[in-house]
Structure 1
Amino acid sequence: LTLTLPALSLPRPSISLSLTSVTASGAGATIRCQGQRRDVRFFLHKAGDLNLQRQMDPAGDGAEFLIPTVGRQHGGSYSCSYRPRSEPFVSSQPSDTVQLVVAEPSYPKPNISLRPSGRVAPGAAVTVRCECQCRGARVLLSKAGDSDARRVIDLSGDVAEFPIRSVSQRDAGSYSCQYSTKSNPSVWSEPSNPVELIVAGEEPGSMYPLPAPHPAGLSGGLALVGRSEPGSALDFTHANVARLALGAAVLLVLGPILAEVYYSHPREVQDPGRHGPL
């Protein structure tokens, strides 16, 4: 019996899998544990299996645990920790966990669909349906690139429904599903083909999903000709102001000149008592 003491002063290591999706039986997998110190011994743990614990003394600050041929028995939740070689009875806190999912080729791939299908409006209700010949199984819904969107349902029939009651941009993306029998919770089917949920008017890069209305109340002979891009009405106002300012400047310059010309021109004065010029 070995008693180890967790040390809060030792930073927790991180853990990752070489494969980000479901691993097929017979394939190889690598579990990497990364720390921040050298001269330590790494330990790999599997939840519920005390006999699996493996250890490694790497030369650097990380260790790689290789599984050459993945089988059903390897599926499960893994974490790792480390101990300084100078203090073999002091251990770091365990890392977060990673899930090694082993695909079973004998499980048929499920089918996935959206209801309604196609582009949906923001705020609408959508249901993601996963159908399989797997009565009594557990179905997992995944969204590509979003681990927080994972949802699990225990089936009573052959169809699992995942409702989204008010769709928003956060829900847009690529979904897939897979299932596992309750007798082998660590063994899953291959993922279904993906289905794309598209939110109308909120596709990436769509800054102006609807046409902007023309400014109201324009009258008195001022009108915008043609259809401009959003924000261009402000440019027209600036242009008009610039033209008015230029015209005013021209008048200020030409006004005195015209006045001087007018008043300096010789004029004829009429005598009331005479009919001709003086």
Structure 2
Amino acid sequence: MTPEFLCLLCLGLCLGYEDEKKNEKLPKPSLHAWPSLVVEAQSNVTLKCQAPCQNVTFVLCKVNDSAYKQEQISTENEAEFLLTDLKLKDAGSYFCAYKTTASHEWSESSEHLQLVITDKHDELEAPSMKTVAHVCNPRTSGR
């Protein structure tokens, strides 16, 4: 065999291997919230997306909100998306995905993560309203 033939054979095998990898589905990433899935309004939460490989581009999306999309390139196998000064409208289901430089296609989406935003003012008011209703109810006042 000539050296030129061997070089072409190796090149063909390498390109074929790369094409094979492109057709493979990338595994799902995982998505976690820190410090919790339930947070107070006007506070912050970090959504961390983790992939099984490094040097990837991550994307964070919100279900039923096609306008919401955050991208982040990472040399590690994870990306942290900080959501600050949360409003009640920020509550909802989030998911992430990633792509490698070799694949150029997005992975499967992570499991959906349900973020709950609580309004502390409403929580404090609700028990006092129940107490007032209980005291003012003639059936429960012992009369």
Name the TM-score class by shorter chain: 0.5 to 0.7
Quick check: 1:105–1:190 contact (8 Å CA) kept in 2? no
Q: Which runs of 5+ in 2 are unaligned?
A: 1-22, 137-143
The answer to whether structure 1 residue 122 and structure 2 residue 27 are counterparts is: no
Quick check: 1:128–1:162 contact (8 Å CA) kept in 2? yes
TM superposition shift of 1:105 = 4.8
What does residue 102 of structure 2 align with? 183
TM superposition shift of 1:209 = 3.8
Task: Indicate the percent of aligned positions where both proteins have the same amino acid.
Answer: 29
- Match of 2:132, SS state, is coil
Q: Which has the larger radius of gyration?
A: 1
Describe the shift of the 1:167–1:228 C-alpha distance in structure 2 as closer, same or farther (beyond 3 A): same
Structure with bigger helix share is 2
Runs of 4+ residues deviating >4 angstroms: none
- 119, 122, 133: which is aligned to 1:228? 133
Q: How many residues matched?
A: 111
Give distance in 2, aligned partners of 1:105 and 1:176: 21
What does residue 211 of structure 1 align with? 125
Give distance in 2, aligned partners of 1:184 and 1:111: 19
Q: What root-mean-square deviation, in Å, do the aligned CA atoms of Structure 1 and Structure 2 show? A: 2.6
Quick check: 2:88–2:119 contact (8 Å CA) kept in 1? no
Give distance in 2, aligned partners of 1:162 and 1:211: 32
Q: Which has the higher contact order (CA 8 A, sep 6+)?
A: 2
What does residue 132 of structure 1 align with? 51
- Match of 2:89, SS state, is helix
Give distance in 2, aligned partners of 1:166 and 1:183: 36
- 111, 115, 119: which is aligned to 1:193? 111
What does residue 78 of structure 1 align with? none
Give distance in 2, aligned partners of 1:159 and 1:197: 19
Alignment deviations for residues 66-110 of structure 1 (CA, whole Å, 9 cap, x no partner)? xxxxxxxxxxxxxxxxxxxxxxxxxxxxxxxxxxxxxx6531110
Quick check: 2:25–2:108 contact (8 Å CA) kept in 1? no
TM superposition shift of 1:159 = 0.9
What does residue 110 of structure 1 align with? 29
- Match of 1:227, SS state, is helix
TM-score (norm 2): 0.67
Give distance in 2, aligned partners of 1:156 and 1:177: 17
- Match of 2:125, SS state, is coil
TM superposition shift of 1:117 = 1.5
Q: Which runs of 5+ in 1 are unaligned?
A: 1-103, 203-207, 215-225, 233-278
Quick check: 1:110–1:178 contact (8 Å CA) kept in 2? yes
- 147, 153, 156: which is aligned to 2:75? 156
TM-score (norm 1): 0.36
Describe the shift of the 1:107–1:169 C-alpha distance in structure 2 as closer, same or farther (beyond 3 A): same
